[in-house]
């Protein structure tokens, strides 16, 4: 595989959640050009079949490669849990295929080896048990509890973030007795950093709420550096594709990327 530093980064998610990762990457690596794809036409991935998620992810990876991307960064926990192995097998010789789960697992097992860990995510991510299995692989004695929180993605995509509705939903999930006594909370969905502060507040700032976006950005930087693939100077403008326009995508996009966000509709599903 012959990759060049000035090729863009390819990043995708089912919707706007991956923007949390893209934005952390932009802050850490401002010279990198980003090609982002949000599959809003098929959102949420959290309750789709594995076959569908693998199919969507493959098509999106093909699309990102038409832009000559040096990475296929799966900025979606659900696709990371379901489709990463397949994506790595198919595209591993064309680009660096990177998931969002492994970097978080490494960080948490190193930093909090003796803590009770909670994980929230979509139904698919939680049912796959990926976080628990990977954490226990590194730290067999780890105490991990995980819980699906399926309303959070549609809530965020609809813009319910700082209000009574979002607070009631967050409270209902987090007060589940399963999560009692956790010291660390992994936000196992890239949408959730958008409500990280509300989650920290719910716990009175006593629980370490992990920002996966920053961890993934740091992991990407290390990976690119080790492969001599860090872009040397500012590249062309970033491109943000969605498979369907939703009102809120543009607004959240601008929240992360100012007015500079260039939102384009792509019809890869036609």
Q: Can you tell me whether residue 101 is helix, strand or coil? A: helix
CB of 140 to ligand DGL, least distance (A): 26
- Looking at beta carbons only, is 103 or 229 nearer to ligand DGL? 103
184-188 and 208-210 beta bridge pairing = parallel
Provide the minimum distance between the beta carbon of 195 and ligand DGL in the complex, in angstroms, as a whole number: 12
Q: How far is the CB of 20 from ligand DGL (least distance, A)?
A: 8
Q: Which residues contact 41 (CB under 8 A, 6 or more apart)?
A: 243, 244, 269
The token pair that represents 21 in the structure block: 């990762």
Of 7 and 20, the one with the shorter C-beta distance to ligand DGL is 20
The pairing of beta strand 9-13 with beta strand 116-121: unpaired
Q: Please give the structure tokens belonging to residue 255.
A: 């929240």
Catalytic pick from 83, 95, 104, 189? 189
Nearer to ligand DGL, 8 or 17 (CB): 17
Closer of 26 and 191 to ligand DGL (Cβ): 191
Q: In angstroms, what is the minimal distance from the CB of 125 to ligand DGL?
A: 6
How would you write 165-227 as a 3-class SS string? HHHHHHHHHHCCHHHCCCCEEEEECCCHHHHHHHHHHHCCCCCEEECHHHHHHHHHHHHHHHC
In the complex, which residues of this chain contact ligand DGL (CB under 6 A)? 13-15, 17, 43-46, 76-78, 122, 125, 153, 189-191
Encode burial over 161-177: b for 16+ CB neighbours within 10 A, e otherwise.
beeeebbebbeebbeee
> Is residue 189 annotated as a catalytic residue, yes or no?
yes
Q: Which positions are annotated as active-site residues?
A: 76, 189
């Amino acid at each position: 595989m012959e990759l060049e530093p000035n090729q863009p980064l390819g990043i995708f998610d089912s919707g706007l959640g991956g923007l949390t990762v893209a934005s952390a990457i932009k802050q850490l690596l401002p010279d990198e050009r980003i090609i982002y794809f949000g599959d809003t036409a098929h959102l949420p991935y959290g309750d789709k079949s594995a076959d569908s998620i693998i199919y969507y992810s493959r098509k999106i990876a093909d699309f990102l490669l038409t832009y000559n991307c040096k990475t296929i960064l799966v900025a979606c926990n659900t696709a990371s849990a379901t489709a990463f192995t397949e994506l790595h097998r198919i595209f591993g010789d064309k680009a660096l295929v990177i998931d969002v789960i492994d970097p978080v697992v490494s960080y948490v097992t190193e930093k909090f080896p003796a803590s009770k860990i909670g994980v929230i995510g979509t139904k698919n991510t939680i049912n796959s048990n990926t976080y628990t299995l990977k954490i226990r692989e590194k730290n067999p004695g780890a105490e991990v509890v995980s819980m699906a929180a399926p309303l959070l993605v549609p809530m965020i995509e609809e813009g319910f973030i700082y209000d009574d509705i979002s607070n009631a939903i967050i409270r209902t999930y987090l007060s589940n007795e399963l999560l009692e006594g956790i010291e660390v909370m992994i936000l196992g969905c890239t949408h959730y950093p958008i409500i990280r502060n509300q989650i920290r507040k719910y716990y009175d700032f006593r629980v370490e709420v992990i920002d996966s976006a920053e961890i993934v950005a740091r992991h990407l930087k290390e990976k690119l550096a080790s492969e001599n693939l860090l872009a040397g100077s500012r590249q062309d403008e970033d491109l943000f594709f969605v498979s369907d326009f939703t009102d809120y995508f543009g607004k959240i996009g601008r929240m992360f990327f100012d007015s500079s966000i260039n939102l384009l509709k792509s019809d890869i599903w036609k």
